[in-house]
Chain A
């Protein structure tokens, strides 16, 4: 990860205040106006799902991009939030399901996810690079198999079905338009949170640890504590996404959090770009679009090949996903843009 460091610092300086400038306002308006032109399918199945999976990828991206810790367990963290909602709230499966109100289950779910994330962070904080990946992969696999084989708590292979989204303020929040705005609000809040934290003292300290851990330790910072807290924060983002995901599907089972799905989250973050928090959302949108429409382009039997090839091409020609591509092919525009800002 350290090779990102130099470029990232330059990028951070150059982007500066333009981050919350007109580009964001215009983009935000476009997202707000999207329901006016999109069908229900594009609102939820593409828009909503991209925002949710983008948030999970964002939680991975913040750890990887700013902390140098690539975690394959973020989907498991989101899954724990989803399972908590299914177990403590209502489900139709007849296993667990305590019918607690959403106002109780949702905060508990997010807290459980954040605490799990912090625990994973604490376990893996002493490792770096490929070892972090291995540990988090092992944890993701363990969570999957535990959920798959535990029938008392997780209801095994079948998982939970019939989990409703709440109805409040007179809205059914699983109806397409309200659900889209709910996802948009959560995603925007997470995005803004990441932008804020990365330039806070804490965020800069974590980035310092990514670049030179020994020096930061010599300066008197507690590396473990900072890392664990970074995991906790990213766990909150993943947890919110996990709650939305279970409302979206209305169900959760081990197949929702299996290793292939976890790797998909990494793919989203990587092809979107790891240097800016918008990257995971771009990556999630591309992956969701491909997963939905690839079978129309090349038939139901070969669509995975198309998805794979797309990833390969993006990763091959760009050092930082789609964001990197943009920087490579529009340098002049980029320059003019910056001077105008």
Chain B
């Protein structure tokens, strides 16, 4: 009989595919962790993993007598890779609990996938997209961290009233997370009476900002900058070189250690720059100090926990608490676990966290200003705690929803 050679290879492969896979003992509890462990956000993903490990260590590596086994799944920050990771965890590895993903668009994609897996419980990692929970929420998706608009709660009012900025230009990257940040900033800033002179959306990884800088009107009081990583450094240094002198208002990931450590004129301009987010060095708070100390024991940890370590931590911990309370019993498809989760309210390193009806966190946000420390280095000084911020930033829900989903043109700012 004739057997084409390639057919045989393929047959052999098909045989391999159907081989049985090892089955784990019942006494371990598998938790999938989705994080960006490749691509431009690798460092951030590693931070997220550290945050989860700190939470697991806090429970001694076990809940309700079952050992926790973390299964890490890498993504490259694209929505497709996040769905692929979630599918692998759920459909192939039989995971019923997932922590993650890290970035905004990934979160939206995973939420859509979560709707097809009602028995799996999804807890956010660090995704800050608004519609992860606000519009069309999935009943099995929880976020104990806050969204990108919440991160900017209070900043618009602060910039208008305390700093006296009436007219700002916006420079931000062109994807959903900066949209959400700009939305959060402008929602309050415009309501207070502020105006927007211009908006520039730049692609991620942009190198040459000269045309963007040229488009900023001369008469602006400040520039709101929502750029991350090297984009922020590039923009700020080029803006200085071009002779720009308007003060900066920072997005939540704009003024990070990279920017603070920059040398030269950019440094002078940064002093006094307000920004806001879910993390601040709360050295007076024992809860923060305990968390920061546990974090620093992780291999390769930064001097201080970042937004991503904190976010994964505050999301992972309530999941473990709920597991502990329900005896880690998932035999009912996780129903009891999710009921318990939705009622959890606890003291996180940055204050009390509870959930709203869409299972999104109500938590503290922090406004900081760049200041000079006694040793001459720049640091972010806490100037205001925006206590218990909800997802609609204090607006009535109907009014907030009516502003529409985040995007380049939202909110319209009175126009």
Contacts and interface: CB of A to CB of B under 8 A. Distances in A.
Contacts of B18: 34, 37-38, 42
Interface stretch (B85-93, B163-171, B281-289, B329-337): B85-93
Contacts of B405: 94
Interface in B9-43: 9-11, 13-14, 17-18, 37-38
Contacts of B11: 26-27, 30
Contact of B78 (A37, A162, A255): A255
A253 B78 contact: yes
A151 B175 CA distance: 11
Central interface residue in A21, A27, A45, A278, by most chain B CB within 10 Å: A27
Given A255-B79, A256-B80, A27 B7 contact: yes
A315 interface: no
A318 interface: no
B83 A276 contact: no
Interface in A137-177: 148-149, 151, 156-159, 161-162
Given A46-B17, A156-B174, A295-B74, A26 B3 contact: yes
Contact of A278 (B6, B83, B174, B176): B6
Interface in A16-35: 18-19, 21-24, 26-27, 30-31, 34
Interface residues of B, number: 43
Contact of B4 (A19, A94, A255): A19
A4 B372 CA distance: 68
Interface string A307-336: 000000000000000110011001001100
Nearest to A291: B84
A337 B3 contact: yes
A21 B72 CA distance: 45
A297 to B, nearest CB: 13
A282 B88 contact: no
Contact of B112 (A94, A162, A281, A295): A162
Contacts of A255: 78-81
Nearest to A47: B17
A161 B5 contact: no
Q: Most chain-A CB neighbours within 10 Å: which of B80, B112, B408? A: B80
A249 interface: yes
B5 A22 contact: no
Contacts of B9: 282, 322, 326
B6 A333 contact: no
B1 interface: yes
Nearest to B79: A253
A267 B84 CA distance: 20
B4 A23 contact: yes
A27 B18 CA distance: 15
A251 B79 contact: yes
A249 B29 CA distance: 28
Contact of B74 (A22, A276, A303): A303
A99 interface: no
A311 B79 CA distance: 25
A27 B10 contact: yes
B203 interface: yes
B6 A323 contact: yes
A46 B21 CA distance: 15
Contacts of A18: 2, 4
Contacts of B81: 255
Contacts of B108: 158, 161
A157 B14 contact: no
B4 A27 contact: yes
A40 B116 CA distance: 14
A330 B5 contact: yes
A162 B131 CA distance: 14
Nearest to B111: A161
A41 B83 contact: no
A301 interface: yes
Contacts of B4: 15, 18-19, 21, 23-24, 27, 337
Contact of A157 (B5, B17, B176): B176
Contacts of B6: 276, 278-279, 282, 323, 326
A285 B13 contact: yes
B74 A21 contact: no
A256 B17 CA distance: 26
A127 interface: no
Contacts of A256: 80
B187 to A, nearest CB: 20
A292 interface: yes
A149 B10 contact: no
Given A24-B7, A45-B91, A157-B176, A251 B74 contact: no
A341 interface: yes
Interface string B375-415: 00000000000000000000000000000010110000000
A62 B372 CA distance: 64
A279 to B, nearest CB: 8
A76 B72 CA distance: 31
A330 B405 CA distance: 60
Nearest to A163: B112
A300 interface: yes
Interface in B101-125: 105, 108-109, 112-113
A340 B10 contact: no
A80 B86 CA distance: 26
B88 A333 contact: no
A37 to B, nearest CB: 4
B156 to A, nearest CB: 24
B211 interface: no
Interface of A: 15, 18-19, 21-24, 26-27, 30-31, 34, 37-42, 44-47, 92, 94, 148-149, 151, 156-159, 161-162, 249-251, 253, 255-256, 258, 276, 278-279, 281-282, 285, 291-292, 295, 299-301, 303-304, 322-323, 326-327, 330, 333-334, 337, 340-341
22 contacts: A18-B2, A23-B3, A23-B5, A23-B7, A26-B7, A30-B10, A30-B11, A34-B14, A39-B92, A42-B92, A151-B407, A157-B174, A157-B176, A249-B83, A250-B112, A251-B83, A253-B80, A255-B81, A282-B6, A285-B13, A323-B6, A337-B5
Kindly list the 10 A-B residue pairs having the minimum CB-CB distance in the complex, ordered from nearest: A23-B4, A255-B78, A41-B91, A27-B7, A23-B7, A157-B175, A41-B92, A341-B2, A21-B2, A300-B74
